[in-house]
Structure formats: C-alpha cells, structure tokens
Structure 1
Amino acid sequence: MDKQKVKRQQILEASVRVIAENGYYKSRISNIAKKAGVADGTIYLYFKNKEDLLISLFEDIMGTFAASAQEVTEREETAAAQLGALVRHHFEYLGERPQLALLTQLELRQSQTELRWRISKILEPYLLLIERIAASGMEKDEFKSTLEPKLCRQMIFGTMDQIVTSWVMNGMKENLVDQAVPVFEMLQGAVCKQV
C-alpha cells in the first residue's frame, strides 16, 4: 500500500474511534487528526469536510463488509446455508469491531436526512446480496414460494440489524456471535420450506 493510502486509512480508522467515543456531532476534525497522528490540514487533503469523511468511512466499511459477506456466502451451496453464513458473518464482523458497531448502529442514524440517504445508497450492495440469497432460495424451491425477495431481504436485514442495535444499547456485554445460531434458526423457520 502506498503512503497516501496508508495515511487515508489511518484517518478513517481514527475517525471510527473518535466518532464512537464522542458522537458524530461532537467529533472535531482536530480530534480525528490528533488520533490519526496527522496535522489538521492533512485531513483536508483527503476529505472535503467531516461529512465527506463520514461518507468515505461508510463506503470503505461497507465495501469491505459486503465483499467479505459475498465471499463467505459463495462458499455455500444451498440458500439456507448461505443465509446461515451471512447471519454468522454479520454478527462476527460487528462483534469483533465494537466501535464500528457503535458507529453504524447509533451514530449514522442520528445524522441529517441527506446524509442518511447517501449512507442508505452505500448499503445497497449488501441488501442486494441478501435479496439474491432469498431469490435463489425461492428458485431452488428451498424457500417458501409465497415470499417476495425484497420483503424477505428487509425481514432478514431488519432482524440482524435490530439484534446488533440491542447488543450495542445493552453495553455490548455478551458475545454477539452467540446470537447467530438462534437468529438463523428463527429466520430459517420463517423462510425455508422445511427446517
């Protein structure tokens, strides 16, 4: 990785920590710069402003998250196994990164409408992956034919998202991955023809 990419990554990682600790609105570019070990002005070489930094951070996070979820699910042959792998990956990824979980589950949701809209667009590839798993399950006659892929996607993502939000709100005391099996079994019962 070249020096510029390393510096940009340092700034993004510092942003996660600062925003998780202080909240988006109370976080200052100077705090992020200090945590990243760079001058304030250096941040503006990579990002226009704090909003651009947050959007870039979320693009980076979701790009990695969606790509790794795609990789994990592609290893599985059945749609049910793909769903199980997706649930486990979702909880493992955020469970291993508590500051990131705090940022995605709480801070990003408190931002302005325009910012939330831009963030929702970044989330689309991940949601489409879930929708493809649902559609594939219906095509292969594994999932109930009465389901609609987009609604199924919303139910699956909404369930996982709420579990992570509750975990964050309750102080992240338990191991989030412990929820993967019961959540998968519940979703499996809701979407699969035979469990």
Structure 2
Amino acid sequence: MRTNKPKYHQIIEAAVRVIAKNGFHGSQVSKIAKEARVADGTIYLYFKNKEDILITMFKEKMGQFIEKIVEQTSKREYADEKLLTLIEMHFGQLSKDHDLAIVTQLELRQSNYDLRLEINNVLKPYLSVIDDILKEGIEQDIFRDDIKITLVRQMIFGTLDEIVTNWVMKECKYDLLEEIPLVHQLLLGGIEKIKK
C-alpha cells in the first residue's frame, strides 16, 4: 500500500468527515472520493472497498493515538500518573476531533462481524498499554496486588469508551475534559492500595 502518498491521507481524512456526516452505510465510495477531491477510481488504487477504508482509517488513527499515549505516559514516573495521562489523552484526542469521535464511537460499532474482529485486533496494543500501567502500579506498590488485570483493563477501557460514547450521543454539547479528574479518582478508588 502506498501510504506515503498525499492522496492516501486525503482519502482517509475525507472518509472520517463523510462517514461522520452520513453514517457508514450512507457513505458511498463516490461521496468519499468527492470529499477527497479525487476520482472514484483513485480510491481503488489504495483501498479494496469501503470496509477497507474504514478499517485502514481506524488503524491509522489508532496507531497515531497509541504512539502518543506511549510517548506521554513514559514521561510519567508513577502508574497513577500514567493512568491520568491515558485518560487525558483518550478524552483529549476525541474531544478535538468530533467527526472521528462519531466514527469511532458509533459507526464502527455498527459494522459486521469480520470488521469488528479487525477493530479488536487494532485495539490490542492500546489494551496492552493499560495492562502495562496496571502491572507497573502493582510493582510500585500503588495498586492492589490482588487485582485481576484483564478485568480491570476492561473496566478502565469500558469506562472511558462509554463516557465518550455518551458525550457523542449528547452531540458533544459539554466539555468532555471536565470529566477527567473525577473519572481518574473513581478508577483509582477501585484499584489503589489502601494505605494503612
């Protein structure tokens, strides 16, 4: 795939806007091509079909997102601070790009089984970041050592995901970033080691 070509990125950015506005099923390849200002046939030089555009878009965006999270969390010394950074970045990235938030929170959920499997594969590195923070927190004696990492990871990701989905469903009318301190506090409340 020729990912270094400007048209490739143009198509991905156009797809985010078109799918956010029209929904996945209402977004014909011709609409994406028009928004990207390319010929319909040009899209097929880079993508097999509309599903391929959606998955590639998610891989690209999620890949960049994970890189930024790893970079920023690695600057923090303690796991509780890393968790805060992760929450800040999760909410921050999506609150900056309403179209992307609509696509990731609503449109990707309505896709078929094969697409959902692909999406789960794309999410695995992000879930690994959460796992690493939890393991580090246990090693640093900040988090309880009796927590089940896979369960807590689901709790953290599920919480962040649902809060963003709710924000999108309410048409992004309130400041998502204002939720960060309380979300961090509540999540920590379930996993922090109780100081004696």
TM exceeds 0.5?
yes
Does the alignment pair 1:106 with 2:134?
no
* Contact 1:24 1:107 survives alignment (8 Å): yes
- Cα displacement (A) at 1:138: 0.9
Instruction: Determine the structure 2 residue equivalent to 1:97.
Output: 97
- Cα displacement (A) at 1:5: 2.1
TM-score computed with the length of structure 1 as normaliser: 0.96
Does the alignment pair 1:27 with 2:27?
yes
User: Any stretches of 5+ residues in structure 2 without a counterpart?
Assistant: none
Q: Distance in 1 between matches of 2:6 and 2:26?
A: 26
Distance 1:151 1:141, change over 3 A: same
Instruction: Determine the structure 1 residue equivalent to 2:185.
Output: 185
- Cα displacement (A) at 1:191: 1.2
SS at structure 2 position matched to 1:173: coil
Alignment of 1:140-159 (within 5 A): 140-159=140-159
Q: Which amino acid aligns with 2:128?
A: L
Instruction: Determine the structure 2 residue equivalent to 1:41.
Output: 41
Identity of aligned residues (%): 48
Q: Distance in 2 between matches of 1:4 and 1:83?
A: 33
Instruction: Determine the structure 2 residue equivalent to 1:123.
Output: 123
Q: Which amino acid aligns with 1:50?
A: K
- Cα displacement (A) at 1:180: 0.9
Q: Distance in 2 between matches of 1:43 and 1:142?
A: 50
Q: Which amino acid aligns with 1:30?
A: S
User: Any stretches of 5+ residues in structure 1 without a counterpart?
Assistant: none
CA RMSD of aligned residues (A): 1.4
Q: Distance in 2 between matches of 1:154 and 1:3?
A: 32
SS at structure 2 position matched to 1:144: coil
* Contact 2:30 2:40 survives alignment (8 Å): yes
* Contact 2:95 2:101 survives alignment (8 Å): yes
* Contact 1:132 1:149 survives alignment (8 Å): no
